[in-house]
Amino acid sequence: MQSLVDFIRDTYARATKSLNWLHGPLLLAIRLYWGLQFELDGWRKLHHLERVTQYFATLNLPMPAQTAFAVALIEFIGGILLAVGIGTRLVSLILFVNMTVAFWTAERDAFLGVFSSPDKFQAADAYSYWFAALLILILGPGWISLDTVIARFFGPKRISEVR
């Protein structure tokens, strides 16, 4: 009986180690896909600022022209930085706040229905962007990112390296 328990425990440990290795590639895929989506949306907004400004005015956002330009830049530059993995946590925080405001202003009923109407919450246009930014904010960029390269070469020395 003990050998069966050991076998199960060892198999589980090997499977966990193998799946943990996929953490970096999965975060890379999420960053590349959603970074590109943010970048493209920001690019479209930059090239159609008048329409975005008009839409923001219908939402009663303050200074709609300046807000449209700021949101377009945040999404365009933030998407690029997210995709390559530079300043990832700060960028994802900014994108998360941006998408929370978008969710709240454009689709408030869906946003407030997170528990009472989860289908409506998940079907909202802002949901996927909001969730992707939240995932990267919490999980970080993964080991396949420029953040990791920069930290390795320019980060603080470890105690073992100082000696």
Comparing CA positions, the residue from 99, 86, 105 lying closest to residue 37 is: 99
Q: What was the pLDDT predicted at 108? A: 95
162 has pLDDT over 70: no
d(CA 121, CA 111): 6
For the chain, domain boundaries: 27-162
pLDDT digits (tens, 9 = 90+) for 78-107: 999 999 999 999 999 999 999 999 999 999
Q: What was the pLDDT predicted at 159? A: 52
75 contacts 98 by C-beta, under 8 angstroms:
yes
- Can you give the C-alpha Rg of the chain in angstroms? 21
